[in-house]
Homo-oligomer: A and B are copies of this chain.
Amino acid sequence: MTSVAGPIPRRERARAATVDEIKATALELMHEQGTTDVRFTDIARVMGMTPPALYRYFADRDELLVALITDAYNDLGDAVAAARDAVDEEDIRGRWIAAAGAYRQWALREPQQFSLIFGLPVPGFVAPQEGPTTEAASRALSQLAAMFADASRRGRLDPPLVRTVPDSLRDCVAEEQKFSDIAPESFQAMLHAWASLHGITSLEAYGHLDWMDPEARDALFLGQVRLAAQTAGLPADRDAAATEVDPAAVPGT
């Protein structure tokens, strides 16, 4: 999209490549060490550079973290959107389950990035309230919301199990014109579904379900997600709608 603006800024591509390599190396190290801690020294060593060289690309550790957090938001949003869009638009519940599965798989695959987004700020790092992260922050939620909005527009949303919406919450929703396509009670149901998904995901990602077999964790997750779908009024596909919520009937995540 920016390729027209100039004669392919040559120098900048090398720079961008280095920036990407730094971020990739940082993620790699976080992955190896299992923490969100990154030492500039280590990144530099892996990249065959000396630590001060990194300051050409990031003013300090915080700036690198901000970049990583922004990327993480985008990654998660993309993963969720891709999984969702891979399922037939008519299969409302199938889309939700696919999106939820992507959310989970991403978290399990990249617990550090998940932690960057959904955990406490990294030690010594003050979250920039006004910054590039804020904009990207709602992307994952937006992907879920878009799904509800689509379904709503098609008239495929059933009333959720919780039909009453307290005034305070209703007012809040009204202010978010981005979600104006969704009825307040469905918006509330979406938040409930998201929280439910997020809860099972973070418990698993942080090892609090390690006492269960992997298959049991799969089953628990599917049950949770299908339960959320049902209570949120996401209609089951014709095939699956016959019985009660039944995680075992769904193919593995």
Contact = CB atoms under 8 A, between A and B. Distances in A.
Given A196-B196, A203-B198, A169 B35 contact: no
Contacts of A171: 213, 216
Contact of A196 (B124, B126, B195): B195
Nearest to A245: B162
Contacts of A119: 115, 119-120, 206
A51 interface: no
Interface string A44-82: 000000000000000000000000000000000000000
Interface stretch (A3-11, A86-94, A219-227): A219-227
B120 A216 contact: no
Most buried by B among A36, A168, A199: A199
Contacts of A216: 166, 168-169, 171-172
27 contacts: A34-B120, A34-B126, A37-B123, A115-B119, A118-B203, A118-B208, A137-B208, A161-B230, A163-B244, A164-B244, A164-B245, A164-B247, A166-B215, A166-B247, A168-B213, A168-B219, A172-B213, A188-B220, A192-B196, A192-B220, A195-B200, A196-B199, A198-B199, A199-B199, A199-B200, A199-B201, A199-B202
